[in-house]
Amino acid sequence: MYEKKSNSEISSVDGVGMTGKYRGVILQQYPSVVTTWGEWKKHYPKTKVMQGRSTGGMMGTYTGITNKRLSGLILSLDVDSKVKGYDMTSLKGKKVVNDEFNKKKIVWVGLDSYTQLVFERTAGGKTLTFEKGRNDSKGRETLTDKETKSTWLAISGECVKGKMKGKKLNLLPTTPFKSSKWSFFHPKAELKK
């Protein structure tokens, strides 16, 4: 990325300033959801889209490296500067993976082959263990925690029914990558298949 005012180039992969005023500075990551329009509309039916415009310009490219342990796409999770990858292709048949990484109890959630999220699996001071729930009346995928049997919306981590109603899981920042690009930047990172 290029920040014009400070004449700084910033890596879009890890948010580290490479040149200019922000060289060596690490941008704060914010969680977001990368999904299909159809999946988004199931959960947020009143959403409107502002039409953008193409600005053109140059983007840096990385050729990447081949890594036989990886398939097509990787969901990259960064927790306190440690990175773990989730093989989106291998995990697409699963819906929920309760996991732990860098001392955080987490849950990986796969809604479809492209929409995959990672939440901290603690709420109300409790560590929870999740499994796939039934779709609600609007067709939205849910999770159920084994400890309280509460129902959570899978895309937002919000509890909508049960003892934990009103609580929300913390969505962690993740980035989807082509596996060769992820392997280039994180060749020794842990990988969940």
pLDDT digits (tens, 9 = 90+) for 175-186: 888 888 888 888
Domain boundaries, the chain: 1-29, 31-44+64-192
The position carrying tokens 């919306």 is 153
pTM: 0.77
Query: Residue 47 and residue 41: Cα distance in Å, rounded?
Result: 7
More confident residue, 103 or 47: 103
Give me 103's structure tokens.
Answer: 């001392």
Instruction: Report the chain's mean pLDDT, rounded to a whole number.
Output: 84
Class of 31-44+64-192 per CATH?
A: mainly beta
Q: Among 9-13, 49-53, 151-155, 182-186, whose mean pLDDT is lowest? A: 49-53
pLDDT attached to residue 97 = 95
pLDDT attached to residue 56 = 52
Per the rule left: phi > 0, alpha: psi between -120 and 50, beta: everything else, 88 is alpha
